Amino acid sequence: MSVFEPVVPASVDELIAALPKVELHVHLEGSMQPALLLELAAKNSVMGLPASLEAVREWYEFRDFPHFIDVYLAAVQTLRDMEDFALLVESTAAALAAQNVRYAEVIVTPWLHLDRGIPAEHLFGGLERGRQAAERQWGIRLRWLADFPGHYGAACGEQTLDAVLETGLDSVIGFNVGGIEVDRDPFAAVFGRARAAGLHSVPHAGETHGPDRIWSAIHRLGAERIGHGIRCLDAPALVDYLRDTQLPLDVCPTSNWRTGAVPRDRPHPLPALLDAGLMVTLNSDDPPMFGTDLTNEYRVAYGLGLTPADLARNGVRASFLIQEEKMALIAEIDEVCKSSLRSARPAARPHEPQG
Ligand SMILES: [Zn+2]
Quick: pLDDT tens for 265-319: 888 999 999 999 999 999 999 999 999 999 999 999 999 999 999 999 999 999 9
| Ligand 1 centroid distance, CA of 151 (Å) | 14
Q: Tell me, what's the pLDDT at 159? A: 97
Q: Tell me, what's the pLDDT at 346? A: 52
| Ligand 1 centroid distance, CA of 30 (Å) | 9
As a whole number of angstroms, the distance between CA 345 and CA 241 comes to 41
> What is the homologous superfamily of the domain 10-342 according to CATH?
Metal-dependent hydrolases (3.20.20.140)
H/E stretch holding 142 reads strand 141-149
CA atoms within a 13 Å half-sphere pointing along the CA-CB vector of 207: 28
| Ligand 1 centroid distance, CA of 94 (Å) | 20
| Ligand 1 centroid distance, CA of 179 (Å) | 8
* Long-range contact set of residues 326-331: C-beta below 8 Å, sequence gap at least 24: 329/20, 329/22, 329/102, 329/103
| Ligand 1 centroid distance, CA of 351 (Å) | 57
| Model confidence pLDDT, tens digit, residues 31-60 | 999 999 999 999 999 998 999 999 998 888
As a whole number of angstroms, the distance between CA 240 and CA 235 comes to 9
CA atoms within a 13 Å half-sphere pointing along the CA-CB vector of 61: 4
| Strands laid side by side in the 101-108 sheet | 21-27, 101-108, 141-149, 172-178, 200-201
Q: Tell me, what's the pLDDT at 2? A: 63
Q: Tell me, what's the pLDDT at 108? A: 98
| Model confidence pLDDT, tens digit, residues 164-217 | 999 999 999 999 999 989 999 999 999 999 999 999 999 999 999 999 999 999
- Whether 343 has a pLDDT exceeding 90, the answer reads no
| Ligand 1 centroid distance, CA of 177 (Å) | 9
Q: Tell me, what's the pLDDT at 70? A: 82
Q: Tell me, what's the pLDDT at 60? A: 87
- Give CA angle at 263 (258, 268), nearest 5°: 85
As a whole number of angstroms, the distance between CA 300 and CA 256 comes to 12
Q: Which residues are catalytic?
A: 207
- Whether 353 has a pLDDT exceeding 70, the answer reads no
| Ligand 1 centroid distance, CA of 249 (Å) | 12
As a whole number of angstroms, the distance between CA 317 and CA 43 comes to 41
User: Band of the pLDDT at 355, cuts 50, 70, 90?
Assistant: very low
Other CB atoms within 10 Å distance of the CB of residue 185? 15
As a whole number of angstroms, the distance between CA 14 and CA 8 comes to 10
As a whole number of angstroms, the distance between CA 223 and CA 215 comes to 9
| Ligand 1 centroid distance, CA of 77 (Å) | 19
Angle of helix 308-318 versus helix 294-303 axis, rounded to 10? 130
Report the percentage of the chain scoring pLDDT > 90. 83
Q: Tell me, what's the pLDDT at 160? A: 98
User: Band of the pLDDT at 345, cuts 50, 70, 90?
Assistant: low
As a whole number of angstroms, the distance between CA 314 and CA 352 comes to 43
Nearest to residue 79, comparing CAs of 53, 56, 112? 112
| Ligand 1 centroid distance, CA of 26 (Å) | 7
More confident residue, 339 or 133: 133
As a whole number of angstroms, the distance between CA 334 and CA 158 comes to 43
Q: Tell me, what's the pLDDT at 342? A: 77
All residues at 6 or more sequence positions from 162 whose CB lies less than 8 Å from its CB, including other chains: none
This prediction's pTM? 0.94
- Whether 354 has a pLDDT exceeding 60, the answer reads no
The arithmetic mean of pLDDT across residues 143-149, rounded, is: 97
